[in-house]
Homo-oligomer: A and B are copies of this chain.
Amino acid sequence: MDQDLLERQRQPLLIVISGPSGVGKDTVVHRMRERRLPFRFVVTATSRPRRDDETDGVDYVFLTREEFEGMVARGELLEHAVVYGQFKGIPRQHVREALATGQDVVFRIDVQGAETVRRLCPEALLIFLTTRDDDELARRLRNRCTESSESLALRMVTARREYEKLSLFDYVVVNADGELDQAVNTIEAIIRAEHHRTRPRRVSL
């Protein structure tokens, strides 16, 4: 057996969980963490206010707008974007440190950010999360109770535009209501499979 290939298959993957607002990126990543799988999770920095059920440093790194702008100015973010009026971004140093451990690195990011990651690291593994259909997405956004009806409509329009970016992604996984564990099982299967490709991805940042 080609020992060099086996070695390259063991190299860490850069795994991006993305998809429109409301598909359940946070929930999926949360469940992955709960399962204590051997992944390194990189947490998004954001300037938006913390929701009650969120923990700083686990769900997001919560920064003030001024702190965020400082990181942007110093080029410390792998990518950043203004999403619905709030800054979000991935600290570059966190990703490098995570990859250096040799474990697979996972982070969640909006579709705009995934596009940037694809450009910076063409061999990143991009997973597009989706609901079963538009109705399911609208229902979830409404149930969050944090959305005014105007922002709901905006998110639905944005989601439809984001579906057009699907071909930038490697895989699409449906996170249907009541089937969270199935979605996470599928993501695990994808990651396992990817470590057995005859052409392993080369990740560099």
Q: Are B196 and A194 in contact, CB atoms less than 8 angstroms apart?
A: no
Q: A186 in the interface, Cβ–Cβ < 8 Å? A: yes
Q: Mark A1-33, 1 if CB is under 8 A from B, else 0.
A: 111011001000000000000000000000000
Give the docked Cα–Cα distance between A188 and B143 (Å).
36
Interface size bracket, A side: 20 to 34
Partner of A170, one of B6, B163, B198: B198
Q: Are B196 and A173 in contact, CB atoms less than 8 angstroms apart?
A: yes
Query: Which A50-92 residues sit within 8 Å CB-CB of chain B?
Result: none
Known: A1-B131, A1-B134, A9-B172. 10 other contacts (CB 8 A): A1-B133, A3-B133, A170-B197, A170-B198, A171-B196, A185-B192, A188-B189, A189-B192, A189-B193, A193-B193
Please give me the residue from chain B that is nearest to A188 by CB atom.
Answer: B189
- Chain B residues with Cβ below 8 Å from A172 are 5, 9, 196-198
Q: Are A169 and B198 in contact, CB atoms less than 8 angstroms apart?
A: yes
Q: A174 in the interface, Cβ–Cβ < 8 Å? A: yes
Q: Mark A126-137, 1 if CB is under 8 A from B, else 0.
A: 001011111000
Q: Are B1 and A174 in contact, CB atoms less than 8 angstroms apart?
A: yes
- Chain B residues with Cβ below 8 Å from A196 are 171-173, 186, 190
Least distance between A7 CB and chain B CB atoms (Å)? 13
Least distance between A135 CB and chain B CB atoms (Å)? 10
Q: A166 in the interface, Cβ–Cβ < 8 Å? A: yes
Query: Which A110-131 residues sit within 8 Å CB-CB of chain B?
Result: 128, 130-131
